[in-house]
Amino acid sequence: MKFKSKQTERMYTVLFMAIVTVVFIAVTSGIYLYTRDKIITNKTLFIKKAVLFAANIDVGDSAKDIEETYKKSIKEIRDADGKLKYMEVYAGGNGKLTGYAVIVTGPGLWGEIEAVLGFDRDLKKMTGIDFIKQNETPGLGARISEKWFREQFRDRMGPFKLVPEGTAKGGNEIDAITGASITSNAVLDIVNRTISNVREIVK
């Protein structure tokens, strides 16, 4: 483009950038606002489903199912500031306390791992584990999200120890994931640490 002077060229450049920026921010913000509720719902649904899995309560995949079951069987206990301390589990459907669930975090290989751990009423056994957040290597460490790995912790109590994949014989042995020792160890640390201090969290 031809300009009358350097001044107008500069003005045009600044103005152009400003307009383009405003237009694109408007478009992305619009799409963000449009999908925001859906994204938040997805996130809470995912957490609720994880809590239910850790509490060993069967639930379908539909949003309605998860919401209803969660409402019926999980009671969130918060401290004075509204921060989640732990959750009480009422699995039987008869209003009797059957266990607890806690959300804990720990370092993984690439980032934080956030997990829900479920325990029975006497804190003597785990009812299960599920992961809310993990950025482990897809195909390797991310396999902690596979069902067989999570199922291993059901109805058992640690401290656990890792053995090579496919060789766990029950008791306190947990199958590690081959090729992902750091992630396996990170999960084990989180679980064992939580087992040792769960009595202080659930009071």
Partner 1 sequence: MAAKGKVKKTFLSGLGADNPIFAQVLGICSTLAVTNVLKNTVVMVMGLIFVTSLSNFTISLLRNYIPSRIRMMVETLIIAAYVIIVDIVLKAYVPDISRQLGPYVGLIITNCIIMGRAEAFALSNPVGLSVADGLSAGMGYGYVLIIIAFFRELLGSGSIWGLRVLGSWWTNWFIMVMAPGAFFMLAIFIWVVRGLITEREKEEVKS
Exposed / middle / buried, residue 53 (Cβ in 10 Å: 0-12, 13-18, 19+): buried
Phi, psi of 199 (to 5 degrees): -65, -25
Contacts of 18 (CB under 8 A, 6+ apart): none
Per CB under 8 A, 139 contacts partner 1: yes
Per CB under 8 A, 24 contacts partner 1: yes
From the CB of 199, what's the least distance to partner 1, in Å?
32
Contacts of 46 (CB under 8 A, 6+ apart): 132
The span from the CA of 121 to the CA of 90, in Å, is: 10
Per CB under 8 A, 32 contacts partner 1: yes
Per CB under 8 A, 179 contacts partner 1: yes
Per CB under 8 A, 105 contacts partner 1: no
End-to-end CA distance of the chain: 72
Per CB under 8 A, 9 contacts partner 1: yes
Q: Taking a C-beta distance cutoff of 8 angstroms, is the pair 86, 77 a contact? A: yes
From the CB of 117, what's the least distance to partner 1, in Å?
20
Per CB under 8 A, 90 contacts partner 1: no
Per CB under 8 A, 168 contacts partner 1: no
**Contact region with partner 1 (CB under 8 A), list: 16-24, 51-59, 115-123, 153-161:** 16-24
Q: Interface residues with partner 1 (CB under 8 A)?
A: 1, 9, 12-13, 16-17, 20-21, 24-25, 27-28, 31-32, 35, 38-39, 42-43, 46, 135, 137-140, 142, 178-179
